[in-house]
Chain A
Amino acid sequence: MIVVNIDVMMARRKMSLTELSEKVGITMANLSILKTGKAKAVRFETLEKLCRALNCQPGDLLEYAEE
């Protein structure tokens, strides 16, 4: 399964969910879907925005883990 480490990166950058939501332009509801691992897909566009806002690589946000 793919684990989204968005909360880890947010903690490292000391960024709140509201702040990230404003910077990336994604609703809090969608960010919550990402954070809770309910998302079925992530657009490259969203990933790019997240990487830019958190100053990281896609690999820092996404991780493969055995189920």
Chain B
Amino acid sequence: MKRQTMVALLRAIVIILAALCVLLFFVLLPMEGKMTAEVTPEYAWAYWPCLIFAWVFCVPVLGMAAPAWQIFGTLKEKGRAFCHENARRFRIMALCAWAAAVIFAVGVVMLAMAGVGSGPLWFSLTPLLLLGLVSFGFACYAMSRLVRESAEMQEENRLTV
């Protein structure tokens, strides 16, 4: 696969994932929430708290798109990916993933305490999503260290005469 094609594909994936996120959090969830509120009016009060929780959770999730986009952009040229900027971008992605995990955990606990939510959501989706986000965060953090060390090695090599 050509370098340019690979970058284009990776960036397309970022756009698609970000668009799906926007669609889910700003279109589907409010629609689903309104339907739930109409069907079960006793939970209508939870519409806005749940929606705000979803939107707050969405911020770090979408926040990962920009650094990912920039990292993929550096893959266009050979050897450009190992730079300190990319190490910083991976660190931002790690922090975003961990922030999303914390927001999700706190939100789930708060909603559970308020008596909103369902068993399958708490016991199946929550651990999976939390594990996924924390693991992704650690993977990004490891990549950040790797890229930083590679950038330092590359710099040292460049300055060896």
Which residues does chain A contribute within 8 Å of B155, judged by CB atoms?
Answer: 40
Which of A26, A41, A46 meets B159, CB within 8 Å?
A: A41
CA distance A16 to B156 in the complex (A): 27
Say yes or no for A34: interface residue by CB 8 A criterion: yes
CB closest residue in chain B, given A40 = B159
CB closest residue in chain A, given B160 = A41
CB closest residue in chain B, given A26 = B161
CA distance A33 to B156 in the complex (A): 12
- Enumerate chain B interface residues (CB-CB to A < 8 A): 155-156, 159-161
CA distance A52 to B44 in the complex (A): 87
CA distance A40 to B159 in the complex (A): 5
Q: Which residues 10-48 in A have Cβ within 8 Å of B in the complex? A: 26, 30-31, 33-34, 38-43, 46
Which residues does chain B contribute within 8 Å of A31, judged by CB atoms?
Answer: 161
Which residues does chain A contribute within 8 Å of B161, judged by CB atoms?
Answer: 26, 30-31, 33-34, 39, 41-43, 46
A46–chain B nearest beta-carbon distance, Å: 5
Which residues does chain B contribute within 8 Å of A33, judged by CB atoms?
Answer: 159, 161
Which residues does chain A contribute within 8 Å of B159, judged by CB atoms?
Answer: 33, 38-41
A55–chain B nearest beta-carbon distance, Å: 19
List 3 tightest A-B contacts by C-beta distance, closest first. Answer: A40-B159, A41-B160, A30-B161
B159–chain A nearest beta-carbon distance, Å: 4
CB closest residue in chain A, given B155 = A40
CA distance A46 to B159 in the complex (A): 13
A23–chain B nearest beta-carbon distance, Å: 15
CA distance A59 to B159 in the complex (A): 21
A66–chain B nearest beta-carbon distance, Å: 22
